[in-house]
Amino acid sequence: MQRRHFLSATFASLATTAFANHHGGKPAKAEDLFEISLAQWSNHRALRGGKMTNLDWPAYTKKTYGIDALEYVNQFFKDKAKDMAYLGELKKRVSDLGMSNVLIMIDGEGALGAGTEAGRQKTVDNHKRWVEAAKFLGCHSIRVNSQGQGENDDEKATNCVKGLTALSKFAAEYNMNVIVENHGGLSSNGTWMARVLKEVGLDNCGSLPDFGNFHGYDRYQGLEDLMPFAKGVSAKSHDFNEAGEETHTDFMKALGIVLKHGYHGHIGVEYEGGKLSEDDGIKATKALLEKCRAALFAQGKK
């Protein structure tokens, strides 16, 4: 516990310095360190079960969790990317509620690191409509999967670089970011994923580090690897102890790394556990983020 306290205090000090360097002054309140958003996957059972629709989700999020920033998953409005009446209604509801749209997570549109040029181009073309939809909704990014294909890790990396570069150049025309999540396979290897992003080398191509998705790779090292490229962060949670701490990830340590790298954007609640209900799991994750944020702020002021 003493070591954990020392690490937290060290990270808090570094985070305060990073904030001051970036913003020209120390954070005035804990909320300045980062904002909390909700990843829609946290409600995937309710959405898939018909308990609410994608259009209902913003109001439910505000009323139930007190969260005002939204991270969508395209699976829940898969056929609506070009439906301007639908997107207009969604945008109006969010605006009327005083909320904001942060990003759309894109799944099921092919492999950006496909092994052929034709395959990569098809995937890029599939993503273009989501870039346009995200721009219309006021998001700053789309989250994508790298899905590298090839005979070996190097070839897979090369193909991912090609696909991400092509999509990012298109997205730049809309002032949109393309951000890659560590989401299984080689993307969950921080060293490999950081190499890909470095080789792309475009300002609008970054990462969405997920606390819980560094499978077979140290999650804290993974955060260190990907945070230099981060334009979003996902606070993945599964289980909690009696003290409200997540049992798989030390949130204080993880958030310390996030802040140390000068990141002060949205951190998305993404509850994926099964022991608590979706509502209770989301609330527990939000409460833990708020608790850690307050503690890091207090330590940074010392």
Give me the long-range contacts of 272-277 (CB less than 8 A, separation at least 24). 272/41, 272/42, 272/212, 272/236, 272/237, 272/238, 273/237, 273/238, 273/239, 273/240, 274/238, 275/239, 276/240
Q: Write the single-letter amino acid at 150.
A: G
* Residue from 191, 205, 203, 107 nearest 157 by CA: 191
pLDDT band of residue 27 (cuts 50, 70, 90) is confident
Q: What are phi and psi of 87, to 5 degrees?
A: -65, -35
pLDDT at residue 300 in the model: 85
User: Please, how many CA atoms are within 13 Å of residue 223, restricted to the half-sphere of its CB?
Assistant: 25
Region 268-279: what's the mean pLDDT?
A: 98
Residue whose token pair is 């999540």:
181
List pLDDT tens digits, range 80-120: 999 999 999 999 999 999 999 999 999 999 999 999 999 99
Region 277-289: what's the mean pLDDT?
A: 98
Distance, CA of 154 to CA of 152 (rounded, Å): 6
pLDDT at residue 1 in the model: 45
Sign of torsion, CA 297 269 36 173?
positive
Tell me the average pLDDT of the chain: 94
Distance, CA of 290 to CA of 264 (rounded, Å): 14
Region 143-155: what's the mean pLDDT?
A: 97
Set out the domains of the chain in order of their start, with CATH numbers. Answer: 31-301 (3.20.20.150)
List pLDDT tens digits, range 218-270: 999 999 999 999 999 999 999 999 999 999 999 999 999 999 999 999 999 99
20 pLDDT higher than 70: no
- Report the percentage of the chain scoring pLDDT > 90: 90
6 pLDDT higher than 60: no
pLDDT band of residue 301 (cuts 50, 70, 90) is confident
List pLDDT tens digits, range 34-72: 999 999 999 999 999 999 999 999 999 999 999 999 999
Q: What are phi and psi of 48, to 5 degrees?
A: -70, -30
pLDDT at residue 25 in the model: 67
pLDDT at residue 12 in the model: 60
Tell me the whole-structure pTM to 2 decimals. Answer: 0.93
Distance, CA of 198 to CA of 229 (rounded, Å): 8
User: Please, how many CA atoms are within 13 Å of residue 294, restricted to the half-sphere of its CB?
Assistant: 5
9 pLDDT higher than 80: no
List pLDDT tens digits, range 222-235: 999 999 999 999 99
